[in-house]
A and B are shown apart, each in its own frame.
Chain A
């Protein structure tokens, strides 16, 4: 019954875009119906997920399907249920946002295409999360990747979008190749392609290491773990904002889900896997936020912050794997809960931030931070909601970002104590200071972002003529902000469900996990108490201030140290705020700088602009692939005509395969 409800949710959301196509002569109605279908499907799915979390055993469903080796098998266990929440809720809110941001009445065919693929990607993501068979998983994964490509290409006439979509497609398919190889290996190890057969595999031996390495390549590419993140900034900045919210908030998490699922197949993973994941996560987190500091395109900046948060999630996963290596139930619970809770949290606040950024872009027409400013006067509600998202992503109490980062800290501190069969690798204790560094840098970055966009004076004519976002754009942001606050104020409520999900994932008994969940829950209730005290003291101080300043207070200009006429261009820009920190990280960046220096006593107009491209893409992937392309071009030109040569290659390959199969080959 629960699984059937999930299937219904998948179908309804997947087909919601068809409403827009069917009613293309009445665009407003079509879009509203598509949005309603998404919301209904999301509601069904969320109800099913909550029921699955409360059910004693994981609901399953099997339908007949004629794919060879494949079966239409679904399983909604704790892990899948937790991932269903962001997968369904964020796109539903996004489609509501799209009614105001990307109206079909004004944009016609583009909007129809967008809604079609929006629904398709939601349905396929939900199917990936509940699939219990490798072939079904891969099929849904392909649909998701292709739908993502078309979504990035919504504004297909822009060169940036074309390039970003191409890079995205190439990266996604390279990752898919790795996944195909990985599932082939897993199928061989387990004897069947069903996930239920793959549970409890032995983690020793080359095959297991190969599986994990391929999983890191394939799922890591989708999740955006450094250095496989290079497609992220372009794709997320070129797509429309609610699509960016979906990609950043949800699609990256599907990669995380895949990593968790594959890691859950193995019975006793070695500590090296956990350490490797922890190190990769730490590097992603630090470099992700460093690159974010250097950007001045607000959507690229937010995309790099996704890399940072995926790094934090990977750190949690690594700590959970370390716990499984040593049989430490508390560490497993803390790491797993941190990873899954941060997934849900990041989906909420990242979507909130992208939707807010979309509202700003919609109102001003520019994505460049240094052309904005003072928007909190024209867009007060958007500013307030964006502030909630910014405080949440920095991990500031009492919002949800703090709750999940706190769990990562607790997990990392657990490794300082020698527990279990053998002591933990003490290097894991360094995760705590690294996370502190990441938190400090993220706070610096969001002071820069919020301060440059919403505070001060408008820096250009774009920002001077802004208008507040419409209700359909504000409502989803409000819902997400409320969720951020709710999870942040009451983190203890989710811990028992997370303990059950962890028991299902790790195979450890529920008692040990439940005990550490109870301990963490006690501490979490104290966190809520301190948060309540914070709010009470804040209100008391505010009331005192109001009593002291009852009469209206005089206004004046900002103290400008004697400048007779300060202009808006004299303000600190975003690049200035981040300047010193970007300087500390100059060993990682290769900025393109264009300078027209001022000459003479009364100089003409001069100009300074910098742009920090992605190092992995510009210095690693593109040169390497250009070199390969040159080699290929040289190989091609030797022979007559491209088509004949390729046909020759094809035929020789087929003949070789047939010969191999005939004389030996596969037993």
Chain B
């Protein structure tokens, strides 16, 4: 039974991630006073891109063609380890969150290499910024996860995000709150949302992720966009389950509540993107160091 729920959750992850992006864009449009694109627009974009040709720069080699493939495969494999809505993951084991983080790192590594393969200074700049900010975000992510390990006594993501999380809030509330805020900041940084990066523009000033994929087109771009939405769903699942663990006894109700929580997360994300300005580039490491410090503070609180 638990395996069936896990499978359904994984399928929901694969199918509903672009909808998350659709909700975010809709919220941003509402804030801007527009009607905005339909909620299912990202799916239409993906279908359009899959049908197109791709133009390849003559400088690129097989690394450029492999980048999107490896990136997507890595994110899908990471999804096998994540627990969605309190349901167990498809392949949980103690220490799986380490593999989760490093699989995302594998995707990032190959995307950055594909960017450098084009021999252009724009993509090089994007790749440099991406790997720099990732190095600052990784310790923050691990500090929050270690806090969860200690709070729940389990070394697996499925154990950390299980149904008893709301009770742990009663005893370790402040530490978990700090960890949740730090994880939200890390999620913003890793998914290249405002205030770290602007996913809408392709201008030099605001580019990190968007400029890394500037030269990709056609199905490659479809894989990259789909992979980005999957990654957003994964981080959202972590933050939502940590912040809003619904203590339902039935696993199906938990899953539904989780999906509602994900929609709420998308609304919150859209609100943050519409009300904050993008940080100056040199302030982004300071933001991530602040997230690490919050995580370290949470760790000190929970180890007392």
Chain A in direct contact with chain B (Cβ < 8 angstroms): yes
Distance in angstroms from B279 CB to nearest chain A CB is: 14
CA gap between A432 and B215 in the complex, in Å: 36
B contact residues around A443 at 8 Å (CB): 105, 108-109, 131, 134-135
Which segment, of B91-99, B231-239, B254-262, faces chain A?
B91-99
**Which of A446, A526, A538 touches B69 (beta carbons < 8 Å)?**
A538
B219 contacts A571, C-beta separation under 8 Å: no
B285 contacts A584, C-beta separation under 8 Å: yes
Main secondary structure of the interface of A (DSSP, over half): helix
Chain B interface residue count, CB cutoff 8 Å, equals 83
CB of B297 within 8 Å of the partner chain: no
B contact residues around A556 at 8 Å (CB): 55-58
Per-position contact with A for B5-26: 1 when CB-CB < 8 Å, else 0? 0000000000000000000000
Which residues of A (137-162) have their CB < 8 Å from a CB of B? none
CA gap between A387 and B136 in the complex, in Å: 24
A526 contacts B128, C-beta separation under 8 Å: no
CA gap between A519 and B155 in the complex, in Å: 13
CB of B138 within 8 Å of the partner chain: yes
Distance in angstroms from B111 CB to nearest chain A CB is: 10
A571 contacts B119, C-beta separation under 8 Å: yes
**Which of A436, A451, A557 touches B57 (beta carbons < 8 Å)?**
A557
B142 contacts A571, C-beta separation under 8 Å: no
A406 contacts B50, C-beta separation under 8 Å: no
A417 contacts B153, C-beta separation under 8 Å: yes
CB of A196 within 8 Å of the partner chain: no
A534 contacts B74, C-beta separation under 8 Å: yes
CB of B247 within 8 Å of the partner chain: no
CB of A82 within 8 Å of the partner chain: no
**Which of B112, B121, B303 touches A571 (beta carbons < 8 Å)?**
B121
B77 contacts A534, C-beta separation under 8 Å: yes
A410 contacts B95, C-beta separation under 8 Å: yes
A contact residues around B69 at 8 Å (CB): 538, 541-542, 545
CB-nearest residue of chain B to A409: B98
Which residues of B (73-127) have their CB < 8 Å from a CB of A? 73-74, 76-77, 80-81, 91-96, 98-99, 101-103, 105-106, 108-109, 112-113, 116-125, 127
Per-position contact with B for A550-566: 1 when CB-CB < 8 Å, else 0? 01011111111100001
CB of B199 within 8 Å of the partner chain: no
Per-position contact with B for A57-85: 1 when CB-CB < 8 Å, else 0? 00000000000000000000000000000
Per-position contact with A for B51-79: 1 when CB-CB < 8 Å, else 0? 10111111111010110111011101100
CA gap between A205 and B268 in the complex, in Å: 60
**Which of B66, B219, B295 touches A549 (beta carbons < 8 Å)?**
B219
A576 contacts B128, C-beta separation under 8 Å: yes
Which segment, of A86-94, A294-302, A306-314, A393-401, faces chain B?
A393-401
CB of B196 within 8 Å of the partner chain: no
CB-nearest residue of chain B to A570: B121
On whether A529 and B91 interact (CB within 8 A), knowing A444-B135, A538-B69, A555-B55, the answer reads yes
CA gap between A469 and B299 in the complex, in Å: 51
Per-position contact with B for A570-584: 1 when CB-CB < 8 Å, else 0? 111000111111001
On whether A436 and B219 interact (CB within 8 A), knowing A549-B53, A571-B124, the answer reads no
A576 contacts B124, C-beta separation under 8 Å: yes
On whether A549 and B218 interact (CB within 8 A), knowing A391-B109, A440-B135, the answer reads yes
CB of B146 within 8 Å of the partner chain: yes
CB of B149 within 8 Å of the partner chain: yes
B139 contacts A436, C-beta separation under 8 Å: yes
CB of B129 within 8 Å of the partner chain: yes
CB of B141 within 8 Å of the partner chain: yes
Distance in angstroms from A492 CB to nearest chain B CB is: 11
On whether A439 and B91 interact (CB within 8 A), knowing A394-B109, A456-B118, A549-B218, the answer reads no
CA gap between A391 and B296 in the complex, in Å: 29
A434 contacts B113, C-beta separation under 8 Å: no
**Which 7 pairs between the two chains have the least Cβ-Cβ distance?**
A572-B124, A440-B135, A451-B116, A456-B119, A538-B73, A444-B131, A526-B93
Binding site for B on A (CB under 8 A): 373-374, 376-377, 380, 387, 391, 394-397, 402, 406, 409-410, 413, 416-417, 426, 429-430, 432-437, 439-441, 443-444, 446-448, 450-452, 455-457, 519, 522-523, 526-527, 529-530, 533-535, 537-538, 541-542, 544-545, 548-549, 551, 553-561, 566, 568, 570-572, 576-581, 584
Binding site for A on B (CB under 8 A): 50-51, 53-61, 63, 65-66, 68-70, 72-74, 76-77, 80-81, 91-96, 98-99, 101-103, 105-106, 108-109, 112-113, 116-125, 127-129, 131-132, 134-143, 146, 149-150, 153, 155, 214-215, 218-220, 223, 285, 292, 295-296, 299, 303
- A sample of 17 cross-chain residue pairs with beta-carbon separation below 8 angstroms, ordered by A number, consists of A395-B102, A406-B99, A416-B146, A432-B142, A433-B292, A437-B135, A440-B135, A443-B105, A443-B134, A451-B124, A455-B61, A455-B117, A523-B94, A549-B53, A558-B59, A561-B122, A580-B285
